[in-house]
């Protein structure tokens, strides 16, 4: 059973009305969409805000049956979806299984397919629920490795998150001929330039400032990008980053798909998303559905802050213990 979230009920009700209107009058939808996505405007961020307010076409999916997926084309309600049911490339599937994933988490079951289908998606689920692997899987599936062009940009608010996401991308794409680049602030720009000159990266993961710089300096070509992912979107669309993110967005092709991923989606961020997303599917996974079947969680209580070495030792001990047969379906993973 599916129910609309009341949190964004204004958007949802307006959405439905707009969606109906859009069906009847496609030109009107196009006009509004064009205005919303007008990146040629000199007005910058003032154009980023939509004076009409709520042409967001947001659809909220909230399932009451854990593991069930509904309101998604091609997915039968109530059937638990496996990675093998997602019609993914063989090499990608191999990477997913080799990484130790057996069953998709709730957010993965709901969000991977619409992202692969090219829809604008807002995916919201708590930390540690597999959001990173969700968009990495979708990006890899949509990447055409035989075309030497940058096809996806994943933005992260911090260097550490960018590196982490890049690692996930490399692991899942291990059996694909995918070229990736991680370009983050703090390192030497010259190193990024050298990397991008070696071979165009199909997928770029980076922090907004450095990505924007490399696009402006024409070291990164945004003209063939089909997918923009904003991870931790609440941070990326906060005042610190919003201008840079929008500057990057304005360089991308008109039809670019936008995927927003976050643990929280405050109303002010939602209102910003309305300005540059087209009819986004909003996927909100409720707290009680968030447990990853393949993951057991532990905590270790310590008296004071522990050093990195000690933390690694604790994790190592747990990993050894967990790899004991029968103790965890995903050895070493927590
Ligand atoms: N389907 C899966 N099966 C087993 N493990 C998984 C699966 N998906 C993700 N994981 C693992 O679960 C952990 C948390 O996943 P991930 O970092 O993607 O979560 P997240 O929602 O992006 O968290 P955050 O919001 O903190 O970035 C990681 O170690 C990841 O490798």
Is the CB of 137 within 6 Å of ligand 1?
A: no
- State the closest ligand 1 atom to the C-alpha of 262, by its place in the atom list counted from 1: 25
CATH superfamily of 3-297: P-loop containing nucleotide triphosphate hydrolases (3.40.50.300)
pLDDT for res 298: 65
Cβ neighbours for 262, distance < 8 A, ≥ 6 positions apart? 122, 123, 124, 231, 232, 233, 234, 269
Q: Whose CA is nearest to atom 23 of ligand 1?
A: 128
Is the CB of 180 within 6 Å of ligand 1?
A: no
Spatial separation of the C-alpha atoms in residues 292 and 113, rounded to whole Å: 18
Is the CB of 129 within 6 Å of ligand 1?
A: yes
Strands 121-124 and 203-206: unpaired
Pocket test for ligand 1, best of 85, 110, 130 (most atoms within 8 A of CB): 130
- State the closest ligand 1 atom to the C-alpha of 105, by its place in the atom list counted from 1: 1
What is the enclosing helix (H) or strand (E) of 61? strand 59-61
Query: Can you tell me the ipTM of this complex?
Result: 0.94
Report how far ligand 1's centroid is from the alpha carbon of 101 (Å).
Answer: 10
Whether residue 308 has pLDDT greater than 50: yes
CB-CB contact of 156 with 205 (8 Å) = yes
Q: What ranges do the domains of the chain cover?
A: 3-297
pLDDT in tens, 237-292: 987 898 999 999 999 999 999 999 998 888 888 888 888 899 999 998 766 555 55
For the chain, the helix, strand and coil percentages under 3-state DSSP, each to the nearest 5: 40, 10, 50
CB-CB contact of 40 with 49 (8 Å) = no
Q: Considering only CA atoms, which of 230, 287, 239, 236 is closest in space to residue 257?
A: 230
Phi, psi values for residue 206, rounded to 5°: -170, 175
Pocket test for ligand 1, best of 128, 230, 265 (most atoms within 8 A of CB): 128
How many beta carbons lie within 10 A of that of residue 136, not counting itself? 31
What percent of the chain shows pLDDT beyond 90?
49
pLDDT in tens, 70-127: 333 334 445 568 999 999 999 999 999 999 999 999 899 999 999 999 999 999 988 8
Counting every residue written for the chain, the total comes to 334
Whether residue 296 has pLDDT greater than 50: yes
Phi, psi values for residue 139, rounded to 5°: -60, -45
Spatial separation of the C-alpha atoms in residues 317 and 268, rounded to whole Å: 43
Is the CB of 134 within 6 Å of ligand 1?
A: no
Give the global pTM.
0.71
Query: Residues 211-214: contacts with CB within 8 Å, 24+ apart?
Result: 211/153, 211/155, 211/183, 211/248, 212/244, 212/247, 212/248, 213/189, 214/183, 214/189
DSSP secondary structure code for residue 306 in this structure: P
Q: What DSSP string runs through 207-227?
A: -HHHHHHHHHTTSS--TT--E
pLDDT in tens, 24-42: 333 322 322 332 333 333 2
Is the CB of 292 within 6 Å of ligand 1?
A: yes
Q: What is the mean pLDDT of the chain?
A: 73
């Amino acid at each position: 059973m599916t129910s609309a979230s009341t949190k964004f009920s204004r958007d949802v009700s307006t959405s439905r009305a707009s969606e109906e209107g859009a069906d009847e009058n496609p030109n009107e939808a196009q006009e509004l969409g064009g205005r919303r996505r007008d990146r040629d405007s000199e007005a910058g961020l003032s154009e980023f805000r939509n004076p009409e307010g709520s042409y967001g076409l947001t659809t909220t999916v909230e399932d009451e049956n854990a593991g069930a997926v509904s309101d998604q084309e091609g997915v039968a309600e109530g059937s638990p979806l496996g990675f093998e049911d997602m019609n993914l490339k063989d090499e990608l599937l191999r990477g997913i299984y080799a990484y130790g994933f057996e069953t998709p988490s709730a957010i993965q079951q709901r969000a991977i397919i619409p992202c692969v289908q090219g829809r604008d998606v807002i995916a919201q689920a708590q930390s540690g629920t597999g959001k990173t692997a969700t968009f990495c899987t979708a990006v890899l599936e949509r990447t055409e490795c035989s075309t030497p062009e940058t096809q996806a940009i994943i933005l992260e608010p911090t260097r550490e998150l960018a590196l982490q996401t890049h690692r996930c991308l490399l692991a899942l794409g291990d059996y694909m001929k995918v070229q990736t680049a991680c370009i983050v602030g703090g390192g030497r720009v010259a190193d990024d330039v050298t990397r991008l000159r070696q071979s165009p990266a199909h997928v770029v993961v980076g922090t907004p400032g450095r990505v924007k710089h490399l696009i402006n300096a024409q070291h990164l070509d945004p003209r063939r990008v089909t997918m923009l992912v904003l991870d931790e979107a609440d941070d990326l669309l906060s005042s610190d980053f919003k201008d840079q993110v929008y500057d990057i967005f304005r360089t991308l092709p008109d039809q670019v798909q936008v995927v927003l991923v976050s643990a929280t989606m405050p109303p002010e961020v939602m209102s910003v998303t309305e300005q540059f997303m087209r009819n986004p599917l909003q996927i909100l996974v409720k707290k009680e559905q968030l447990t990853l079947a393949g993951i057991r969680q532990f905590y270790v209580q310590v008296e004071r802050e522990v050093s990195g070495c000690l933390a690694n030792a604790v994790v190592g001990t747990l990993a050894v213990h967990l790899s004991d047969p029968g103790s965890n379906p995903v050895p070493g993973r927590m």
